[in-house]
Amino acid sequence: MKVLAVGDVHSPRYLELFIESLKNKPLPDLFLFAGDMVLQGRVEGYGEVLNAIENEFGTIPPIVACFGNEEYFESRSKIVEQYGEHIIFLDDTSTTLNINGKVIGIVGTQGSLDEPTSWQLRNVPAIRELYANRIIVVEEMLKRLKHVGADLTILLMHYAPTTLTCVGAKPSIYRWISSKKFYRAIVHAKPDAVIHAHVHESKVFYAEINNTPIWNVALPATKTVTEIEL
């Protein structure tokens, strides 16, 4: 199964880089958006991303997306309303797709941070509890997908679930861009792939946790849309 994955397009900030990096890419069986596809809640940015994909491939492949911190809570319902016809949006939820005769189970989440940012502490009620509970919920959803017979399970998230793919950023900020606590959910649930973004400065785009492959697909870091074969 051919997968293209990207995050942090922050349209229009990195839209031209996104458009350029689509050239000569194969039409994927599945396109994954790992959050922050728009800049600061700018809903129309999603339309620009979809237009770029359609212009390159002549069609829009199946797309599954999670939200990032710049898909503001107050703009998410509008994003889903306007673009939900073409994109399956997952917000601490899961879905299954039939692709090439296989059942693909995907859990999508913004993810958690080991330490909430100062803005989050001021503006998001009970943010520490939200992050702690999210890890439990995601682990249970991944296990449930395996239980119902998914051939492949994918964890699609925005924040990094490990510091391994944060290398390149300052270690002093790891706790504000990742969650080592999410490591537990991956070890226990054993998804077949984990896709994340958010870490713009990363120099490490691939790592493994107990043989589970982890890809950082943040466009400002990778400079290209990531190709994955599953």
| Range list of β-strands (E), 54-140 | 63-66, 87-90, 93-99, 102-109
**pLDDT at res. 12:** 97
* Res 181: pLDDT: 87
pTM: 0.97
Structure tokens at 70: 């710049």
Determine the pLDDT at residue 29: 98
> Could you report the per-residue pLDDT of 106-159, keeping only the tens digit for each?
999 999 999 999 999 999 999 999 999 999 999 999 999 999 999 999 999 999
Task: Identify which of 1, 62, 85, 74 has the alpha carbon closest to the alpha carbon of residue 38.
Answer: 74
Sheet bearing 93-99, strands edge to edge: 93-99, 102-109, 152-157, 193-196, 212-216, 206-209
What range defines the domain where residue 178 resides?
2-229
CA distance 99 to 42: 31
Count of domains forming the chain: 1
pLDDT tens digits, 78-113: 999 999 999 999 999 999 999 999 999 999 999 999
Looking at residue 78, which CATH number applies to its domain?
A: 3.60.21.10
